Amino acid sequence: MASYIDNWVKEQALLTKPDKIYWMDGSEEEAKKLVQIGLTKEKIAGNFTFLELNGKIYPNSYLHRSHPTDVARTEHLTVVCTPKREDAGPNNNWQEPGEAKAKLKNLFDGCMKGRTMYVIPYFLGRSDSPYSKPCIQLTDSVYVAVSMRIMTRVGKNVVENIGNSSSFVRGLHSIGDLNPERRWIMHFPEENLVMSIGSGYGGNALLGKKCFALRIASAIGYREGWLAEHMIIIGVEAPDKKITYFLAALPSACGKTNLAMLDPVLKGYKVWTLGDDIAWINIGKDGRLYAINPEAGFFGVAPGTSYSTNPFMMKTLKNDKFFPTLFTNTALDVDTNSPWWEGLTDERPKNLLDWQGQKYENAPDKPAAHPNSRFTTSIYNCPTLSKEYDNPLGVPISGIIFGGRRRSTMPLVYESRSWEHGVFSASIMGSETTSAALHQVGVVRRDPMAMLPFCGYNMGRYFSHWLSFKNKVKHLPKIFMVNWFRKDDSGNFIWPGFRDNSRVIKWMTDRIENRSGYEETALGLIPKKTDIDLSGLNFDDAKFSKLFEIKKDEWEKEAEDISKFYSTFGETLPKELWDQLSELKKKLFGI
């Protein structure tokens, strides 16, 4: 009898009508073969899918130029399909599943004619982890197939593991005709199914990432009692060699990858990397929170990455232990045949092609690399990879960091007074939008827990789910809020950021160990200037207080915006959060 996988793949092939079906085994040989197809056969927007780069500078690496309209996630075309609108919540676009499927079936009908369908069996998490999930993605893009091999654990063992079971996450993907008019990223959380058409870009097309590991997994986690979060996982080693594990949630393009590979400026400190984007968080046997990274690679923002901002990522990109590394929509330095992006070097190479392959003419508002250009590389290439990365049970978490990108309003750091207060603080997070998604950049929007675009169910219930851990977890982690991005009156960042963020992390580990001071504010606990190691930095008292300034007029606007956002959830928003908001207003305005 044919298995559920065979039947499902057959059904999708009948619909999409590919010329060939190829089952991936995840081997190195296969990756070479697929890259070769991208170099010589398959074309995207008129160019071959891959262009070989200079292996002496970046070994085993390839440049991919996507369709010019397909360069970032498209949140307006991303939909959660549940029978009841309320189950998707006001945080998601919604369509009734039957209607959604009828529309999609028309678009998928025959869309793979003349193409190969790649069947990608993969695990999110290690196969021997109690927290991992087997998945099957189908795609007609060799770029997606190679990317998935870097980002997840692809292998034949997945098919064996699923066997005759019907319990695996299903993803059907086609680049379609790449026309944004016929582009949809549709989720069916009740069926563990994603159908995505019309885009070959990252989070729209590598379905293991935001679609499964966050939207579908968050819905599964709600049902099963765990959390799927847009968070990095790091181990912070102090001079006494003790390692404290943190999670950190920052919205897209707001500093997660950089924090995940932090090279501390403080002597004796080290950061060990376990994940740079997604964490699955479970309650362990000892009652503590444990996190695993379901992914196996980095899909990181290129602009701003350099030997001074993120030296370990530069080393990762030049490490050829695990093959291959992809660059997407970066510029190309013609003289060296190597990728280039704004911020990589102080001086721009003379002979540059822009991200679309055109000769680059310098213009102030026109960067050579796309602002959301990215690299894709195996986590095993990372020199700071934690020994615990491959622990199937994950690592025990002592601190959770949340933070947005705010030029004003939010202090550099504060600690919450309790679990409820921490959940509240994370729920009122706002952040300036970035070029990781196609929308206006730089406008503040509410982005609770950095999950607004990624929570696969009603966020009101998500907040209750977070609150419920208070009574289920022993040794609850401390919750901290950060903002690396506050600006002065001339528009310059006040805080140096990047490697200097280790100063803030040190204060957090000291707070966890109960060995550093703090001061009470309306928002939470902040460090006094003497509580934080600022050695070697030129910070006088005035500049330091600027980082923590709470301005009444800014907070009046902020509180109003939060109230409006909360109201959209109606009855599903937990009452505790409204109470917390009232208490904050009392502290801020005395009313």
Compute CA 299 distance to the chain's CA centroid, rounded to the nearest angstrom.
Answer: 8
Q: Does 547 bind ligand GTP (CB under 6 A)?
A: no
* Number of residues in contact with ligand GTP under rule CB under 6 A: 22
Closest to ligand SPV by CB, 256 or 511: 256
Residue 253 binds ligand GTP (CB under 6 A):
yes
Q: How far is the CB of 436 from ligand GTP (least distance, A)?
A: 4
Of the candidates 493, 519, 534, 570, which one interacts with ligand GTP according to CB under 6 A? 493
Instruction: Say whether 540 sits in a helix, a strand or coil.
Output: coil
Contact range with ligand SPV by CB under 6 A, out of 102-110, 202-210, 310-318, 386-394: 202-210
- Does 277 bind Mn ion (CB under 5 A)? Our answer is yes
Residues 457 and 219: beta-carbon distance below 8 Å: yes
- In the sheet with 352-353, reading across from the earlier edge strand, the strands are 338-340, 331-333, 352-353
CA distances from 216 to 80, 296, 357, 574 (A): 9, 18, 36, 23
- For 553, counting Cβ atoms within 10 Å of its Cβ (0-12 exposed, 13-18 middle, 19+ buried), the class is exposed
Find the shortest distance in angstroms from Cβ 187 to Mn ion: 17
Q: Kind of pairing, strands 478-482 and 413-415? A: antiparallel
Rounded to whole angstroms, the Cα distance separating 215 from 411 reads: 30
117 binding ligand GTP? (CB under 6 A):
no
**Closer CB to ligand SPV, 203 or 430, in the complex:** 203
Binds ligand GTP (CB under 6 A): choice among 176, 300, 339, 477:
300
Closest approach, Cβ 493 to ligand GTP, in A, equals 5
Q: Is 484 in the site for ligand GTP (CB under 6 A)?
A: yes
447 touches ligand GTP by CB under 6 A: no
Is 250 a residue that touches ligand GTP (CB under 6 A)?
A: yes
Per partner kind, with CB cut-offs from 5 to 8 A, the member of ligand SPV, ligand GTP, Mn ion, none near residue 250 is: ligand GTP
Q: Are strands 352-353 and 331-333 parallel, antiparallel or unpaired?
A: antiparallel
Contact 171, 192 (CB under 8 A): no
Residue 135 or 482: the one with the smaller Cβ distance to ligand GTP is 482
Beta strand pairing status for 153-154 and 338-340?
unpaired
Residues 215-274 close enough to bind ligand SPV by CB under 6 A = 252
Q: Position of tokens 């009122």? A: 428
Q: Which one is catalytic: 211, 254, 382, 455?
A: 254
Q: Which residue number is nearest to Mn ion in terms of Cβ?
A: 277
Least Å distance, CB 24 to ligand SPV, is 20
Q: Is 202 in the site for ligand SPV (CB under 6 A)?
A: yes
Instruction: Answer whether 253's CB lies under 8 Å from 302's CB.
Output: no
CB of 462 to Mn ion, least distance (A): 17
Distance CA 232, CA 261 (A): 10
Please identify, among the stretches 29-37, 296-304, 362-370, 526-534, the one whose residues bind ligand GTP according to the rule CB under 6 A.
296-304
- 254 in catalytic set: yes
* Interface residue with ligand GTP, options 301, 395, 429, 525 (CB under 6 A): 301
Residue 562: CB partners within 8 Å, gap ≥ 6? 428, 446, 581
Alpha-carbon span 411 to 406, nearest angstrom: 9
Residues 265-294, interacting with ligand GTP (CB under 6 A): 276-277
Q: Give the span between the Cα atoms of 202 and 210, in whole angstroms.
A: 9
Q: Which does 203 bind (CB under 5 to 8 A by kind): Mn ion, ligand GTP, ligand SPV, none?
A: ligand SPV
436 lines the binding site for ligand SPV (CB under 6 A)? yes
The answer to whether 173 contacts ligand SPV (rule: CB under 6 A) is: no
In whole angstroms, give the CA distance from residue 28 to residue 21.
19
307 binds, among Mn ion, ligand SPV, ligand GTP, none (CB under 5 to 8 A by kind): none
Does 436 help bind ligand GTP (rule: CB under 6 A)?
yes
Q: Which residues contact 124 (CB under 8 A, 6 or more apart)?
A: 132, 133, 135, 152, 153, 169, 208, 212, 213, 217, 280, 294, 295
C-alpha span between 156 and 322 (Å, rounded) = 19
Binding-residue pattern over the window 245 to 274 for Mn ion, x denoting contact by CB under 5 A: -------x----------------------
Q: Is 256 one of the binding residues for ligand GTP (CB under 6 A)?
A: yes
Minimum distance, C-beta of residue 87 to ligand GTP, in the bound complex (Å): 26
Binder of ligand GTP out of 303, 394, 448, 477 (CB under 6 A): 303
State which residue, 5 or 150, has the beta carbon closest to ligand SPV.
150
Cis before residue 324, ω within 30 degrees of 0?
Answer: yes
Residue with tokens 């679609």: 211
Q: How far is CA 76 from CA 206, 299, 306, 434, in A?
A: 18, 22, 32, 15
> Is 299 a binder of ligand SPV (CB under 6 A)?
yes
- Full DSSP string of 488-525: -TTS-BSS--GGGHHHHHHHHHHHHTT-S--EE-SSSE
Binding site for ligand GTP (CB under 6 A): 250, 252-258, 276-277, 300-301, 303-304, 309, 436, 484-485, 493, 497-498, 501
Task: Supply the residues annotated as catalytic.
Answer: 254
Binding site for ligand SPV (CB under 6 A): 73, 202-203, 209-210, 252, 277, 299, 436
Binding site for Mn ion (CB under 5 A): 252, 277
